Amino acid sequence: MGPKVAERLGRLGIVTVRDLLEHIPRAYDDWSEATGFAGLALGQEATVRCAVERVKVRPTRRRNLKIVQAIVRDGEGTRVAAVWFNQTWVTRQLGEGTELLVHGRLAGDSFTVERHELAGQTEGLHTVGLVPAYRASEEISSARLRDLVGQARPRLRFLPDPLPARLRADEGLPLRADALAAAHRPHERAEAEVARARLALEELLVLQVRVLGRRRELEDETSAPPLDEEGELIGRYRALLPFTLTHDQESAIAEISADLALSRPMQRLLQGDVGSGKTVVALYALLRAVERGHQGALMAPTETLAEQHFLTVEGICNELGVRCELLTSSLPAAQRRAARDRLASGEADLAVGTHALIQDEVEFRSLAVAVVDEQHRFGVEQRRALGKTTPHVLHMTATPIPRTLAQTVYGDLDVTEIARPPADRRPVVTRWVGHERSAEAYTRLRRHLEEGRQAYVVCPLVSESETVEARAAEQEAERLRAHELRGFRVGCLHGRLKTAERREVMDAFKRGELDVLVATTVIEVGVDVPNATIMIVQEADRFGLAQLHQLRGRVGRGAQQSYCLLVSRPKEELTEDAARRLETLVETADGFELAEVDLDLRGEGQLLGTRQSGLSDLKFARLTRDRELIARARKLAEAVADDEDDVVGPLRLEAERLDEDHRGFA
């Protein structure tokens, strides 16, 4: 194999022989060998063994078309003219008496060859049986890969098998080499699937062993202050809430409580749909720290969101006599320093800010609980950095994914779900409105405003830059003030406003001094105004499914029926995926269900968090298809984690090899 080929393989992600052998087919063509040409129906696809009698190249009247024709004879003595189009090079292979396998179709009295191979050389590798089709590239064809894999096959036996023999016996799994051999060259399709499942299970198991190992390491190295029981402050907090907690909220709190009581740092993920009431639970965890004389930190991915959280938290804290600091980079230096000093001395109880700020700058007197909002935006590294400061950590995400997946994607976290929103909620009524009827959408929106409710208008997603997007939003707000929303108080919110301005706009909207917020996706998370009951999303087809769902979550936060109107071009002009996104949104309000569809549409590589966990590099497993295998791998990983080294040793070794490969992001 020359250096050129190596390079080309490299671009397919194939560097070592092992990579090549682990590059299993993505599909198979099922071609059985026919006994002869005579038995074939017209147009029937088949593979026939035959010998060449004579060959000639025929030019045709069309300038660019050359035909190679060989009179061939099969084992039964039937002669046909085998025809190759535009492949004059085959004449070099074909002499009188050459034996070969041809694959193609009978067309009249000739046989059109799609693919052939010389008998005795590769023996059916390309033309007979379940012929593997590989993920290939422009530079290196599936046929070439078949040849290369065929040559490398004898080396299968030298590849390591990380599955411990006992586990293989207990689970009834074949040897790795056998599974790979079967995957490349199965006798039946079922055999290929069994082989793939065996390889996928091992892959998932290694991943889980790695994730669990990392978690144990973290636990061994660190400890957090145990917070035993609820105290007086929590009593007052509960009394202050204008509602009773839902069953799901209470059980989330119970799980968190049990974690907090230990000196092993909590590493829990709180999953719940937008508006399901996660913030209330998060604040509970923070206050548990405060009432024992420790501190809490709430970290958000963006400044806007941090500010938004601060506004929510500050109100409650004031009533409880808890001192809360906002920390963002746009705060004047002197103020920031003062806030930091108060956190260092313990004068302040809670910090709300962006994660970067809190992690890099702040010395806490005693940080006991950290809440990380939208954890998927934080890499494993950040999680680890946090771990060193040894608080209990609660991660929150409003992009829920099915539990089995969550355990793999966020395998080093315990998972808690708030599955149901507060009972007084009605699902947001969602409509898909064509451009031509957008006037009606605004009429409807005005009706809400006239009844004293508030509204959002979300501007189209602009990919160029935040600045361009901000300018577009300003212009749109201006336009709406002059036309559709004339006479109403319209504010504009985007990422290019100074903190103070942004805060002012959000405050004014919260206090009801603005009727409408025209905004970019900065309102995607955190904005919580129950009186806002209608949202128009412009050019909704430009947004992703999860993003639209997040945006929609800004309404439907009170007892009133809320509406979300998705304005887009007509269906005929949309891509199939875009249309399906909008349809799905209209049909379902359930975040978990949407996550499934999203997964389906975007593929698992796009799943948030997969990159950190190594899931985007899976060779054999498919997250969408292999739920059962994922659960099984998880159980096995837990079961073997405490086993002697001769059992987990090879798995750990394999995990380390992966870590080596992925240093830099995992």
- Indicate the residue among 218 and 527 with the shorter CB distance to ligand ADP: 527
Q: What are phi and psi of 433, to 5 degrees?
A: -115, 130
Q: Is 376 in the site for ligand ADP (CB under 6 A)?
A: no
Q: Is 609 in the site for ligand ADP (CB under 6 A)?
A: no
Residues 549-608 that bind ligand ADP (CB under 6 A): 557
Q: Is 354 in the site for Mg ion (CB under 5 A)?
A: no
Give me the least distance between CB of 394 and ligand ADP, in Å please. Answer: 12
Q: Report yes or no: 216 and 662 within 8 Å, Cβ to Cβ.
A: no
**Binding residue count for Mg ion, defined by CB under 5 A:** 1
- Indicate the residue among 553 and 650 with the shorter CB distance to Mg ion: 553
Residue 422 interacting partner from Mg ion, ligand ADP, none (CB closer than 5 to 8 Å by kind): ligand ADP
How many C-beta atoms surround the C-beta of residue 139 within 10 A?
13
Q: Is 533 in the site for Mg ion (CB under 5 A)?
A: no
Quick one: how many helices (H) and strands (E) in the chain? Answer: 23, 21
Give me the least distance between CB of 279 and ligand ADP, in Å please. Answer: 3
| Beta-carbon contacts of residue 423 (< 8 Å; ≥ 6 apart) | 246
Residue 556 interacting partner from ligand ADP, Mg ion, none (CB closer than 5 to 8 Å by kind): none
Binding mask 259-278 for ligand ADP (x = CB under 6 A): -------------x-xxxxx
Counting every residue written for the chain, the total comes to: 666
User: Which residue from 46, 39, 176, 29 is spatially nearest to 112, judged by alpha carbons?
Assistant: 46
User: Which residue from 428, 436, 430, 462 is spatially nearest to 571, judged by alpha carbons?
Assistant: 436
Q: Report yes or no: 528 and 553 within 8 Å, Cβ to Cβ.
A: no
Q: Is 493 in the site for ligand ADP (CB under 6 A)?
A: no
User: Which residue from 265, 182, 262 is spatially nearest to 219, judged by alpha carbons?
Assistant: 265
Q: Report yes or no: 278 and 398 within 8 Å, Cβ to Cβ.
A: yes
Strand order in the sheet with 350-354: 324-327, 350-354, 295-300, 367-373, 392-397, 267-272, 414-418
Q: Is 512 in the site for ligand ADP (CB under 6 A)?
A: no
Q: Is 397 in the site for Mg ion (CB under 5 A)?
A: no
Give me the least distance between CB of 327 and Mg ion, in Å please. Answer: 19
Q: Which stretch, 242-250, 301-309, 441-449, 616-624, contacts ligand ADP (CB under 6 A)?
A: 242-250
- Indicate the residue among 156 and 305 with the shorter CB distance to Mg ion: 305
Q: Is 304 in the site for Mg ion (CB under 5 A)?
A: no
Residues 270-329 that bind ligand ADP (CB under 6 A): 272, 274-280
Tell me the C-alpha distance between 666 and 613, whole Å. 6
- Indicate the residue among 276 and 610 with the shorter CB distance to Mg ion: 276
Give me the least distance between CB of 308 and ligand ADP, in Å please. Answer: 10
- Indicate the residue among 369 and 380 with the shorter CB distance to ligand ADP: 369
The two structure tokens encoding residue 93: 């292979």
**Binding residue count for ligand ADP, defined by CB under 6 A:** 17
* Per-residue DSSP letter, 49: E
Residue 275 interacting partner from ligand ADP, Mg ion, none (CB closer than 5 to 8 Å by kind): ligand ADP
- Indicate the residue among 308 and 389 with the shorter CB distance to Mg ion: 308
Q: Report yes or no: 129 and 32 within 8 Å, Cβ to Cβ.
A: yes
- Indicate the residue among 259 and 374 with the shorter CB distance to Mg ion: 374
Binds ligand ADP (CB under 6 A): choice among 96, 243, 347, 501: 243
The two beta strands, 27-31 and 33-34, are unpaired
Give me the least distance between CB of 480 and ligand ADP, in Å please. Answer: 26
Give me the least distance between CB of 297 and ligand ADP, in Å please. Answer: 17
Residue 21 interacting partner from Mg ion, ligand ADP, none (CB closer than 5 to 8 Å by kind): none
- Indicate the residue among 555 and 597 with the shorter CB distance to ligand ADP: 555
Tell me the C-alpha distance between 525 and 508, whole Å. 18
What string of H, E and C letters represents the secondary structure of 216-274? HHHHHHCCCCCCCCCCHHHHHHHHHCCCCCCHHHHHHHHHHHHHHCCCCCCEEEEEECC
Please name the amino acid found at residue 304: T
> Residue 50 region, left (φ>0) first, then alpha (ψ -120 to 50), else beta?
beta
- Indicate the residue among 274 and 457 with the shorter CB distance to ligand ADP: 274
Q: Is 245 in the site for ligand ADP (CB under 6 A)?
A: yes
The two structure tokens encoding residue 117: 């191979």
The angle formed by the CA atoms of residues 134, 138 and 144, to the nearest 5 degrees, is 45
Give me the least distance between CB of 313 and Mg ion, in Å please. Answer: 11
Residues 387-406 that bind ligand ADP (CB under 6 A): 398
* Alpha-carbon 212 to chain mean position: 20
- Indicate the residue among 145 and 274 with the shorter CB distance to Mg ion: 274
Q: Is 302 in the site for Mg ion (CB under 5 A)?
A: no
Q: Is 422 in the site for ligand ADP (CB under 6 A)?
A: yes
Residue 584 interacting partner from ligand ADP, Mg ion, none (CB closer than 5 to 8 Å by kind): none
- Indicate the residue among 277 and 353 with the shorter CB distance to ligand ADP: 277
The two beta strands, 267-272 and 392-397, are parallel
Q: Is 308 in the site for Mg ion (CB under 5 A)?
A: no
Q: Tokens 């992703």, residue?
A: 544
Residue 231 interacting partner from Mg ion, ligand ADP, none (CB closer than 5 to 8 Å by kind): none
Residues 514-553 that bind ligand ADP (CB under 6 A): 528, 530
- Indicate the residue among 424 and 645 with the shorter CB distance to ligand ADP: 424
DSSP E strand boundaries for 86-168: 99-107, 110-118, 129-133
Residue 296 interacting partner from Mg ion, ligand ADP, none (CB closer than 5 to 8 Å by kind): none
- Indicate the residue among 27 and 254 with the shorter CB distance to ligand ADP: 254
| Beta-carbon contacts of residue 193 (< 8 Å; ≥ 6 apart) | none
**Run of H or E residues at 617:** none
Residues 250-279 that bind Mg ion (CB under 5 A): 279
Counting beta carbons within 10 angstroms of the beta carbon of residue 154, is it exposed (0 to 12), middle (13 to 18) or buried (19 or more)? Answer: exposed
Beta-carbon-side half-sphere exposure of residue 26 (alpha carbons within 13 Å): 7
Which residues are at the interface with ligand ADP (CB under 6 A)?
243, 245-246, 249, 272, 274-280, 398, 422, 528, 530, 557
Which residues are at the interface with Mg ion (CB under 5 A)?
279
